Chains A and B, each alone.
Chain A
Amino acid sequence: MSRKIFVLFTLLALTAALLACTGAPPTSAPPTSAPATSAPQATTAPPATTASAARPIKVGIVDTYSGPPAAFGNDALNGFKLALSEINKDGVLGSNIEFVTRDDKYQPDTALSMAKELILEEKVDVLVGTVNSAAALAISSFAKEQKVPYIVWIAKSEAITGAKGHRYVFSTSENSAMAGKAGAEALAQKPYTKYWIAGEDYEYGHAIANAAWDNLKALKPDVTKAGETWWKTGEPDLTPYLTAIMAAKPDAIIFATGGAGMTNVLKTAKAMGLSDQIPIWIHTAIDTSVLKPLGANAPEGVMGTMDYLFYYPETPENKAFVKAYQDAYSAPPGFPAFHAYNTAHFIAEAFKKAGALDKEKFIDAMEGLKIDSPTGEIEMRACDHQVVEPLFMGVTKKNPQFEFMTASDLVSVAGKDVMPSCEEVLKKRSQ
Chain B
Amino acid sequence: MDPSAVISLLLVGLARAMILFIVSAGLTFVLGVLRVPNVAHGSLYMIGAFVAFTIATAFGQSSAGFWFALILAPLVVAAVALIIERGLLSHLYQREHLMLILFTFGLMLILNDLVKLIWGAEYRSVTPPEILDGAVTLFGFNIPRYSLFLLFVGPLVAVGLWFLSNKTRLGKIARAASVDREMVGVLGINVSWVFAAAFVIGCALAGLGGALVAPTTSISLGMDLTIIIESFLIVIIGGLGNTWGALIGSILFGVSQSLGLLFFPQFAIAFPYAVVVIVLLLRPRGLLRSAW
Hey, which bits of chain A sit against chain B, CB under 8 A? 2, 5-6, 8-10, 12-13, 16-17, 19-20, 25, 27-30, 65-71, 74, 201, 227-232, 234-237, 239-241, 243-244, 246-247, 259-261, 263-264, 267-268, 271-274, 277, 289, 293-297
Contact B146 A271, beta carbon cutoff 8 Å: yes
Query: 1/0 per position for B98-123, CB-CB distance to A under 8 A?
Result: 10010000001100110010001111
Partner of A13, one of B97, B226, B233: B233
Point out the residues of chain A lying under 8 angstroms from B122, CB to CB: 71, 289, 293
Partner of B9, one of A17, A244, A295: A244
A-B contact pairs, 15 of them (CB 8 A): A5-B292, A13-B229, A29-B109, A68-B221, A201-B269, A234-B223, A240-B12, A260-B222, A263-B123, A267-B218, A271-B135, A271-B216, A272-B143, A273-B142, A293-B125
Can you name the residue of chain A whose Cβ is closest to the Cβ of B266?
A228
- Shortest beta-carbon distance from A16 to chain B in Å: 5
Point out the residues of chain B lying under 8 angstroms from A231, CB to CB: 268-269
Point out the residues of chain A lying under 8 angstroms from B197, CB to CB: none
Partner of A10, one of B98, B143, B236: B236
Counting from the closest, the 6 A-B pairs by CB-CB distance are A25-B222, A70-B121, A240-B258, A263-B218, A247-B5, A244-B261
Contact A260 B220, beta carbon cutoff 8 Å: yes
Q: Is the interface of A mostly helix, strand, loop or mixed?
A: helix
Complex Cα–Cα for A294 and B127 (A): 8
Point out the residues of chain B lying under 8 angstroms from A264, CB to CB: 217-218
Point out the residues of chain B lying under 8 angstroms from A244, CB to CB: 5, 9, 258, 261-262, 265
Would you call B147 an interface residue if the criterion is a C-beta within 8 Å of the partner chain's C-beta atoms? yes
- Shortest beta-carbon distance from B252 to chain A in Å: 14
Can you name the residue of chain B whose Cβ is closest to the Cβ of A271?
B144
Contact A296 B19, beta carbon cutoff 8 Å: no
Contact B216 A268, beta carbon cutoff 8 Å: yes
Contact B9 A273, beta carbon cutoff 8 Å: no
Complex Cα–Cα for A71 and B268 (A): 29
- Shortest beta-carbon distance from A131 to chain B in Å: 11
Complex Cα–Cα for A16 and B235 (A): 14
Point out the residues of chain A lying under 8 angstroms from B124, CB to CB: 293
Complex Cα–Cα for A71 and B143 (A): 32
Query: Known contacts A13-B233, A19-B225, A70-B116; is A5 also within 8 Å of B144 by CB?
Result: no
Contact B9 A297, beta carbon cutoff 8 Å: no
Can you name the residue of chain B whose Cβ is closest to the Cβ of A18?
B229
Complex Cα–Cα for A229 and B1 (A): 18
Contact B101 A12, beta carbon cutoff 8 Å: yes
Most buried by B among A10, A25, A237: A237
Hey, which bits of chain B sit against chain A, CB under 8 A? 2, 5, 8-9, 12-13, 15-16, 19, 37, 39, 61, 97-98, 101, 108-109, 112-113, 116, 120-125, 127-128, 133-135, 141-144, 146-147, 213, 216-218, 220-229, 232-233, 236, 240, 257-258, 261-262, 265-266, 268-269, 273, 280, 284-285, 290, 292
Complex Cα–Cα for A201 and B265 (A): 13
Can you name the residue of chain A whose Cβ is closest to the Cβ of B218?
A263
Q: Is the interface of B mostly helix, strand, loop or mixed?
A: helix
Partner of B97, one of A5, A25, A230, A294: A5
Partner of B226, one of A236, A263, A294: A236
Contact A294 B125, beta carbon cutoff 8 Å: yes
Contact B236 A237, beta carbon cutoff 8 Å: no
Contact A235 B224, beta carbon cutoff 8 Å: no
- Shortest beta-carbon distance from B242 to chain A in Å: 14
Complex Cα–Cα for A247 and B258 (A): 12
Contact B232 A243, beta carbon cutoff 8 Å: no
- Shortest beta-carbon distance from A106 to chain B in Å: 9
Point out the residues of chain B lying under 8 angstroms from A289, CB to CB: 122-123
Complex Cα–Cα for A261 and B220 (A): 10
- Shortest beta-carbon distance from B139 to chain A in Å: 11
Partner of B135, one of A70, A227, A235, A272: A272
Point out the residues of chain B lying under 8 angstroms from A69, CB to CB: 121
Can you name the residue of chain A whose Cβ is closest to the Cβ of B8?
A243
Partner of A260, one of B147, B218, B265: B218
Complex Cα–Cα for A263 and B124 (A): 9
Partner of A29, one of B13, B113, B146: B113
A68-B221, A296-B127 known; 12 other A-B pairs, CB under 8 Å?
Answer: A25-B221, A30-B113, A67-B222, A74-B121, A201-B269, A241-B268, A244-B262, A268-B144, A271-B144, A272-B143, A295-B125, A297-B125
Query: Known contacts A16-B232, A228-B265; is A235 also within 8 Å of B226 by CB?
Result: yes
Point out the residues of chain B lying under 8 angstroms from A29, CB to CB: 109, 113
Contact B123 A293, beta carbon cutoff 8 Å: yes
- Shortest beta-carbon distance from A259 to chain B in Å: 8
- Shortest beta-carbon distance from B236 to chain A in Å: 6
Point out the residues of chain B lying under 8 angstroms from A5, CB to CB: 97, 292
Most buried by B among A68, A240, A271: A240
Contact A243 B216, beta carbon cutoff 8 Å: no
Partner of B12, one of A9, A19, A243: A243
Complex Cα–Cα for A243 and B133 (A): 17
Query: Known contacts A230-B269, A231-B268; is A293 also within 8 Å of B258 by CB?
Result: no
Contact A240 B123, beta carbon cutoff 8 Å: no
- Shortest beta-carbon distance from A249 to chain B in Å: 10
- Shortest beta-carbon distance from A256 to chain B in Å: 15
Contact A293 B218, beta carbon cutoff 8 Å: yes
Complex Cα–Cα for A25 and B223 (A): 9
Complex Cα–Cα for A154 and B216 (A): 27
Complex Cα–Cα for A66 and B280 (A): 35
Contact B142 A8, beta carbon cutoff 8 Å: no
Partner of B236, one of A13, A201, A247, A268: A13
Point out the residues of chain B lying under 8 angstroms from A201, CB to CB: 269
Complex Cα–Cα for A365 and B112 (A): 44
Complex Cα–Cα for A290 and B216 (A): 15
Point out the residues of chain B lying under 8 angstroms from A228, CB to CB: 265-266
Contact A6 B261, beta carbon cutoff 8 Å: no
Point out the residues of chain B lying under 8 angstroms from A274, CB to CB: 142
Contact B121 A271, beta carbon cutoff 8 Å: no
Contact B236 A236, beta carbon cutoff 8 Å: no
Contact B123 A28, beta carbon cutoff 8 Å: no
